[in-house]
Structure 1
């Protein structure tokens, strides 16, 4: 069955917001020397992205010193917002009803960039800074806050304030975000010279968090690690007349890029294609059964039944290089041909192809009683193959298939 562009979506790992859970915050420099609260050594393994109960997706900007989140984020404001539990969040995008149906699984969700959120993003604007070391001997003229501290780097206009407790820097806040920063830092000299500073103190180390290129929300796919693609396709009853039947199960799912129509070098574009052999009979003795071996004694051909259409007297089968499925006792794979009887080894059904039939029956095109697969064997590129437990089909049943491919 063909995959259309509407059947494909970028996706990210699914993480439902759950009360009592401590989430990682966004940090540009997570690594082995700066692990996240969850112990992750890179941003994509950290838990900084959540989806709420209304299918809105958020990025955690601050996690209240790695404490548990108890207030679900719900705002869709373009600005970073705080919740009652001390967390700060950035709204990224929401899933539509169609996206939750087609591109959400137990482990992954659809990912996209919200154009309104993207337009509101400010490149290089600073939102967060963390105290790595508080230093000592800091003094104040009054109160507990030193303010109007310039933030150095390649951007402009960033301003911070720090809170002093027992002579050490205990907290830092960005009071003016500025713009254009790709690196930033706060100098000790600027702390002790700033408003309300007492002119003393040393040893503070502050990690100024640098936002992603374009600012938070500018490109959600890159910011949230959407290095996965979800392909969603449904099989509803019998499709393409005889192309996708309901009288047998299936367990192998594959993805093939640009296979050719049989006998051509034209890329197939039909909604469905049948990749098995068929023969049409005038009369049949008995009834062929699915999955049984069939033989044509006159030619030595061997195959395995996919389906038998008793109404139209059409037998469908496939052949492979394996014994009892395509090769004879000598290892040869021979095509079924001519007005030679085909016999079912389990059912004992027997019939001779009607070689005078060169018509189209039940959307199957026959030439001298036989029909070939509709795609050129070995054409196209195999992108994905997966073996699953057998899935039994029915005419009133729909199978929804989701594939996740990481790039």
Structure 2
């Protein structure tokens, strides 16, 4: 049987997602990962592959996850596509009846929410187009807009170019800085409750008619010329009236003089006041509650923008290493704290392993980022990892281990140390040691795990260096419990190399 998922379900889903981020029972994180993208595909940076959506890929995402940043309720906002006002453009008007058989005249959209029926002006004010000059003389396609709407009137304003614009809201400067993009406009999260928007909400009248469109006058013939006032608007609402102007027996203009209230359908009852027939009109029904009552519903806010800033300013919790690359970003819902069943709630978290090293070469070696580190942990058993970053002052190394170190490579070569993925340890078995062989830019160096060290930081020459992870006997585990939570967004991209003075502003659009 024919069925559809309605636009209103999509708008509701966006609202529910926003509410889910705001509740303390959920915890959302953006993350960066995949430090070895070009090992997976040599042309990754020029031919970035689409993400794969299956459980196998989810496991790999966790294994290559570098760091995660908490998403707070102030980091999420509803957005709509950006339609900027420009002179000479024919904008579409709000209509309640666009459908597959009544497409919007400029974008040929069967849905209101895909039509260009609202604008953002140069002062970051948002307006809905109530009327665009449409009539039979322009084939009901509208006329060019020549006057930018700038008013903040509570009632719709007729501009000199024939357009009628209804002011809805102004984007706050802080939201412009944080959420503005080339393609999307943000909507205030508190529109329905904020005093800033209360005047617009309070003047909205449910079912108030703002405009009546003349659709066709080709066969119209009426025994009247001039303006006929007090023409009733019939339907299920009350008190609606309009004035109709005639020229040569044909209607040329309709002005709503009393919009009435509570209309869900309407008919201009011209027959009751004028003799004649042949004209066709459309009474445009406003959104539920009236224009400005609920902009999420009125503008079709079925998208959410998630903002996350990654920077190196948190010296006491440096979870985002520098000098490495990442080629994947994403979102995880409700990850757990490592080795617990507790929800992760910290402002940021590390997804990689760490080693505190000791030995003569620790202060002089130049490690090869993405190079191997190995440890013989017992007879015939070797742990293998890949270097994320290394600080020769604090002697702290971050590394990750994924399936690439214990599976055949892309050309079928077997892994050097077998198919078992072994973890590094401060307590090796018989035949093993705490020695770590590190790949450097000039070869290899042998150092050791500092098994005497436990802590979150170290002090050298009166300066404290924080690791961002708890080390026990020289080893640090990821702060995120691997394979916990739900991965709800994946984005592959060309590699980005992180630098000390660099920050990344990540803006993710989720469409429902």
Asked whether 1:287 is paired with 2:393, we answer no
| Distance of 1:90 and 1:334 partners within structure 2 | 65
| Distance of 1:148 and 1:61 partners within structure 2 | 21
TM-score normalised by the chain length of structure 1: 0.93
C-alpha change, 1:164 and 1:74, in structure 2 (3 Å) is same
Asked whether 1:28 is paired with 2:96, we answer yes
| Distance of 1:253 and 1:137 partners within structure 2 | 65
| Distance of 2:318 and 2:387 partners within structure 1 | 14
Which among 273, 277, 297 is matched to residue 349 of structure 2? Answer: 273
Q: How does 1:221-370 map to 2 (within 5 A)?
A: 221-239=296-314, 241-285=317-361, 286-298=365-377, 299-323=381-405, 328-329=415-416, 330-338=418-426, 339-347=433-441, 348-361=444-457, 362-363=466-467, 364-370=469-475
Instruction: Note if contact 1:326-1:334 (Cα within 8 Å) is conserved in structure 2.
Output: no
Tell me the alpha carbon deviations over residues 210-231 of structure 1, each in whole angstroms, 9 at most, x when there is no partner: 0000000000111111111111
What residue is the counterpart of 1:127 in the other structure? 210
Q: How does 1:106-125 map to 2 (within 5 A)?
A: 106-112=182-188, 113=191, 114-125=197-208
Asked whether 1:58 is paired with 2:130, we answer no
What residue is the counterpart of 2:478 in the other structure? 373
Q: Aligned Cα RMSD in Å?
A: 1.9
- Deviation of 1:154 (Å): 0.8
| Distance of 1:73 and 1:103 partners within structure 2 | 23
Tell me the alpha carbon deviations over residues 283-302 of structure 1, each in whole angstroms, 9 at most, x when there is no partner: 15333221112222443222
Asked whether 1:2 is paired with 2:70, we answer yes
TM-score normalised by the chain length of structure 2: 0.74
Asked whether 1:394 is paired with 2:469, we answer no
Tell me the alpha carbon deviations over residues 333-353 of structure 1, each in whole angstroms, 9 at most, x when there is no partner: 211123432223454132221
Instruction: Note if contact 1:304-1:325 (Cα within 8 Å) is conserved in structure 2.
Output: no
Runs of 4+ in 1 over 6 A off after TM superposition: 324-327
Which among 151, 156, 172 is matched to residue 238 of structure 2? Answer: 156
Number of positions where the alignment pairs a residue of Structure 1 with one of Structure 2: 398
Structure 1 unmatched ranges of 5 or more: none
| Distance of 1:379 and 1:133 partners within structure 2 | 61
Instruction: Note if contact 2:350-2:479 (Cα within 8 Å) is conserved in structure 1.
Output: yes
Which among 193, 196, 204 is matched to residue 272 of structure 2? Answer: 193
C-alpha change, 1:261 and 1:99, in structure 2 (3 Å) is same
- Deviation of 1:377 (Å): 0.5
Instruction: Note if contact 1:27-1:210 (Cα within 8 Å) is conserved in structure 2.
Output: yes
What residue is the counterpart of 2:170 in the other structure? 94
| Distance of 1:219 and 1:81 partners within structure 2 | 19
| Distance of 2:237 and 2:244 partners within structure 1 | 20
